[in-house]
Structure 1
Amino acid sequence: MIWLLVLVAFVAVAAVLSVTLGARSVSINDIWAGLSGNVDTASAAAVAKRVPRTFLALLIGAALAIAGTVMQGVTRNPLADPQILGINGGASLAVVVGLAFFGITDAFGYIWLAMLGAAVAAVFVYTVGSLGRGGASPLKLALAGAATAVAFTSLISAILLPRIDVMSVFRFWQIGGVGGASPDKILLVIPFLLVGAVICFASAGGLNSLALGDDLAAGLGERVQTARLLAAVGAVILCGAATAVAGPIGFVGLIVPHVCRLLVGPDHRWLLPVSALVGGGLLTIADVVGRVIAPPQEVEVGVVTALIGAPFFIAIVRRQKMRAL
């Protein structure tokens, strides 16, 4: 309970910092004016723009953290992450195909395309990682995901190079960020995120059983494949919807589950909601850092999370290697 209160306070502080800090600092009066719709001053206008940006960062961070936690539970792979497993890459490729060949440019179309691409990528990576002896081992899944992500990136480049018009639209989205947040976009993505989150939370008990191993989970009466499929569907919905509105933001789903296990242990009934809080706060803080490190320019949040996540990923790999020795 204490950790829960601390994390709620962390999210609240992150939200306040996100509204007040940036290229232009604002006062309490500016915040009140911006929230009330009075944008006569530049500072109040900045607040009015930062509020939906903050809300979107909290939503996307929570979604990616929940998805990463579920993916690590489903695959029993500590390196599982929407980006590392190629899920974000599949969503990105689907969006590019929709842009280049079908002229889809609205956010609603992006969401459905991204979820379709994420689902196809997830099935493909799991199928490839399951080939050979031992089935879907953590190492094989990580290698299959990395290879798939590289292949998707190559396909995206092949589609975009001759299409300058599509590249100009895609290049800002590809970095990953929440700067384009708007109330309409938030209202559009919330139903998808809610559905994905509900499915993932409903899968918490099944994920606890899967952590014991397929044989033992089946012996306890768990329908292993059904539990794995249900949890994966929730994670894919979250990844697809989050990627559609914010671009392929990486490493949030990798970092947050490991941190949260240190706080509340491996029980997914606690791990999932705590991951949502930490993920939302982390992405919001990363967005704030991107706004203040090089004013008046902004560094997209996808770049900041990559700078944070890459050393963390290396540390996890080294830790797993030491355990294997």
Structure 2
Amino acid sequence: MKSAAILGLIFLFAVVLTLGVGVRDVTPIDVFQAIFAYDESNPVHIVIGSVRMPRLVAALIAGAGLGIAGTIMQALTRNPLADPGIMGVNSGAAFAVVIAALLTGRSDSGLMSAMAFPGAALAAAAVFMLGGGLRGDAGPVRLALAGTALNAMLLSLVSAIVLARNETLEILRFWITGSLAQAGARPLAGMGIAAAIGIGVAFLIAPRIEALSLGSSLARGLGTKPARVQAGALVAITLTTGAAVAVAGPIAFIGLLVPPLARRVAGHALRFELMAAAVIGASILLYADTLGRILLAPSEIRVGIMTALIGAPAFVIIARRLRPGATS
């Protein structure tokens, strides 16, 4: 209970900080007034409502979605180093964006989001099928190998297209690092609904994933059908991560770092882990984005770069603490 209260306060502070910090700093009182007593004639309220609020919503969708996806992925594969990217989501989204840029020559943010989501979904579905999901035997190793192979293939195709057509390089460069700066131009409502559905599916199948973690044979004996659980997990991972990529671009390490933190806060009950993961993921992304706006103000360090700077050392620490043969 105490951990939940502390986590809630950390999250609320992140929200106020995100809405208050920028080229023009505003006080917490202005932030609360803009939220609860919005005045269209007040320029401070306009900045908060039209610029910073979409940025906040995008961070909530991306952070919570990646936190949930990473938690489901690690529980499903029983691998503390598993990340939503292992399902080919980021590479699938990047490939779809490059193809769209190549065919249309356009680089607007709305088009990037529109193409990133189906690209991520198709890549995740392909990993599931290649990993034996249709036969009901998509084990952790199969999924990891299928994801690694598809990632390598898609990234090679992306590199080949970019090298052949220089105009796609500029388009990809501004999308691939991950950013919340253009959140207002992205389909936040649609992606929010997609993420909410994915989170709902994750909570629904959480007890079945816990049963599956005992082993396929024992899970079947308890009435769990591995193929259905894996398919449900795929839907949850695809919707949450696809929505995150669509509103913020590829954000590294959130899905990797959040699950261990969520386990520390919530224990090993998966549904409580998912709740904590959503809040922690959103909080980390909000703080990373705010820090990126402060460090080189008035310039901005993209949030994808900030999470990589934070996440890379943390990844090394997690990897070094793993015991040989450990799977959870």
Of 264, 267, 289 in structure 2, the residue corresponding to residue 265 of structure 1 is: 267
Q: What is the SS of the residue equivalent to 1:208?
A: helix
1:25 counterpart letter in structure 2 = D
Question: Do structure 1's residue 174 and structure 2's residue 176 form an aligned pair?
Answer: yes
Q: What is the SS of the residue equivalent to 1:258?
A: helix
Q: What is the SS of the residue equivalent to 1:203?
A: helix
Q: What is the SS of the residue equivalent to 1:216?
A: helix
| Aligned residue number for residue 101 of structure 1 | 103
**Distance in 1 separating the partners of 2:51 and 2:117:** 27
1:123-142 matches, within 5 Å, as 123-126=125-128, 138=140, 141-142=143-144
| Aligned residue number for residue 218 of structure 2 | 216
Per the normalisation by structure 1, the TM-score is 0.86
CA gap of 1:33–1:273, structure 2 versus 1, over 3 A, is closer
1:215-234 matches, within 5 Å, as 215-234=217-236
Q: What is the SS of the residue equivalent to 1:83?
A: helix
Query: Deviation per CA, 1:246-272, whole angstroms, max 9, x where unpaired?
Result: 101111111101111112122111111
Q: What is the SS of the residue equivalent to 2:322?
A: helix
Native 8 Å contact 1:125 1:144 kept in 2: yes
Question: Do structure 1's residue 297 and structure 2's residue 274 form an aligned pair?
Answer: no
| Aligned residue number for residue 279 of structure 1 | 281
Q: What is the SS of the residue equivalent to 2:183?
A: coil
Note the aligned Cα RMSD (angstroms).
2.9
**Distance in 2 separating the partners of 1:228 and 1:217:** 12
**Distance in 1 separating the partners of 2:32 and 2:243:** 31
| Aligned residue number for residue 245 of structure 2 | 243
Native 8 Å contact 2:107 2:171 kept in 1: no
**Distance in 1 separating the partners of 2:211 and 2:110:** 36
Per the normalisation by structure 2, the TM-score is 0.86
**Distance in 2 separating the partners of 1:297 and 1:184:** 22
| Aligned residue number for residue 18 of structure 1 | 18
Of 251, 254, 258 in structure 2, the residue corresponding to residue 252 of structure 1 is: 254
CA gap of 1:7–1:303, structure 2 versus 1, over 3 A, is same
User: Which stretch of structure 1 is more off in the superposition, 175-184 or 97-106?
Assistant: 97-106
CA gap of 1:310–1:258, structure 2 versus 1, over 3 A, is same
Native 8 Å contact 2:16 2:28 kept in 1: no
Native 8 Å contact 2:62 2:244 kept in 1: yes
Question: Do structure 1's residue 192 and structure 2's residue 194 form an aligned pair?
Answer: yes
CA gap of 1:67–1:6, structure 2 versus 1, over 3 A, is same
2:151 counterpart letter in structure 1 = A
Task: Give the CA deviation at 1:183.
Answer: 7.8
Q: What is the SS of the residue equivalent to 1:242?
A: helix
Task: Give the CA deviation at 1:28.
Answer: 4.5
Question: Do structure 1's residue 308 and structure 2's residue 310 form an aligned pair?
Answer: yes
Gaps of 5+ in 1: none
Q: What is the SS of the residue equivalent to 2:278?
A: helix
Query: Deviation per CA, 1:74-112, whole angstroms, max 9, x where unpaired?
Result: 222221112244321112212222332256767676556
| Aligned residue number for residue 66 of structure 1 | 68
Q: What is the SS of the residue equivalent to 2:85?
A: coil
**Distance in 2 separating the partners of 1:256 and 1:173:** 23
Q: What is the SS of the residue equivalent to 2:297?
A: coil
Equivalenced residue count is 321
